[in-house]
């Protein structure tokens, strides 16, 4: 499985350069470091995952991958693991670039990152890909592009709208429930929900991919 992720990393060398440039531009354009971090992680991860899927499609990689001694489960699992690998890469990118900019004095802004920032970005990335991957494994890259596009822009459009609806009784109930929990417990619940979402998504992706013919 590691080899499949390594293959993606080798294929995405150019995208990594572009991602660094994107984060630098974002840091100069936006002042709120939490927003810059959130957007950077989502955009970079989205770019990397979609480009990896595009490379596989362009090279008809399913024929190659399924001719190697790999199970279809491993192929699907590698895609899901890449969510975390690419998210970590995006976070590291952000931290290193922010550090360099501060050290060189090019940016006066202190781009600090809290655990909540990391959790929020990871939740968004997991949500987007948990919905996208079953569609990708069912229909392939070309037919799933629209879904990924809607999910990506939908996340940015709906996130502020959700917070604007904070007065809605249902949202209020949810929000008011969390203060009764310790920070650790709240995080654990969110993590459990995300893991459940990933597990359900993985289950469907695997079912779809096992039925695919190449």
Partner 1 sequence: MEPILEVRNLRKEFQGFSLKNVSFTLEKGYIMGFIGPNGAGKSTTIKLIMNLIHKDGGEIKVFGLDNVKYEKEIKERIGFVFDENYFYDELTISEVKRVVAPLYRKWDNELFHKYIKEFSLPLKKKIKHLSKGMKMKLSLAIALSHHAELLIMDEPTSGLDPVIRSELLDILFTFIQDENKSVFFSTHITSDLDKIADYITFINDGEIIFSCPKDEIVENYGLVKGPKELLHSDIQQYLIGVKENQFGFEALVKDKQKIKRMAGDNIIVEKPSLEDIIVCFQRGM
Find all residues with CB under 8 Å of 52, minimum gap 6, and list them: 8, 11, 12, 82
Q: Which of 29, 31, 69, 104 binds partner 1 (CB under 8 A)?
A: 69
The stretch among 2-10, 103-111, 115-123, 191-199 that binds partner 1 (CB under 8 A) is 2-10
Instruction: Work out how close the CB of 55 gets to partner 1 at its nearest, in angstroms, rounded to a whole number.
Output: 6
Q: Per CB under 8 A, does 18 bind partner 1?
A: no
The stretch among 53-61, 116-124, 176-184, 185-193 that binds partner 1 (CB under 8 A) is 53-61
Residues 5, 81 contacting (CB under 8 angstroms): yes
Q: Which of 18, 28, 68, 178 binds partner 1 (CB under 8 A)?
A: 68
Residues 82, 52 contacting (CB under 8 angstroms): yes
Q: Per CB under 8 A, does 60 bind partner 1?
A: yes
Find all residues with CB under 8 Å of 128, minimum gap 6, and list them: 42, 46, 148, 151, 152, 155
Distance CA 165, CA 45 (A): 28
Q: Which residues, 123 to 142, sit near partner 1 by CB under 8 A?
A: none
Q: Per CB under 8 A, does 173 bind partner 1?
A: no
Instruction: Work out how close the CB of 209 gets to partner 1 at its nearest, in angstroms, rounded to a whole number.
Output: 12
> In b/e form, how buried is each residue of 45-72, taking b as 16+ CB within 10 angstroms?
bbbbbbbbbebbbeeebbeebeeeebeb
Q: Which of 34, 54, 55, 118 binds partner 1 (CB under 8 A)?
A: 55
């Amino acid at each position: 499985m590691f080899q499949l992720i390594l293959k993606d990393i080798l294929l995405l060398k150019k995208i990594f350069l572009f991602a660094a440039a994107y984060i630098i531009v974002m840091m100069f354009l936006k002042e709120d470091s939490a927003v810059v971090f959130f957007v950077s992680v989502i955009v970079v991860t989205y770019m990397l995952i979609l480009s990896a899927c595009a490379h596989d499609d362009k090279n008809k990689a399913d024929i190659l991958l399924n001719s190697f001694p790999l199970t279809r489960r491993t192929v699907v699992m590698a895609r899901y693991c890449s969510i975390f690998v690419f998210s970590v890469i995006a976070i590291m990118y952000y931290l290193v670039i922010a550090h360099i900019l501060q050290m060189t004095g090019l940016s006066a802004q202190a781009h600090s990152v809290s655990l909540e920032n990391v959790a929020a970005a990871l939740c968004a990335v997991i949500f987007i890909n948990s919905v996208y991957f079953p569609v990708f494994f069912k229909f392939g890259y070309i037919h799933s592009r629209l879904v990924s596009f809607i999910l990506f822009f939908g996340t940015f459009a709906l996130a502020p709208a959700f917070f604007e609806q904070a007065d809605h009784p249902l949202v209020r109930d949810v929000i008011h429930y969390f203060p009764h929990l310790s920070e650790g417990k709240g995080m654990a619940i969110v993590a459990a929900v995300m893991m459940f979402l990933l597990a359900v998504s993985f289950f469907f992706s695997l079912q779809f991919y096992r039925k695919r013919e190449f």
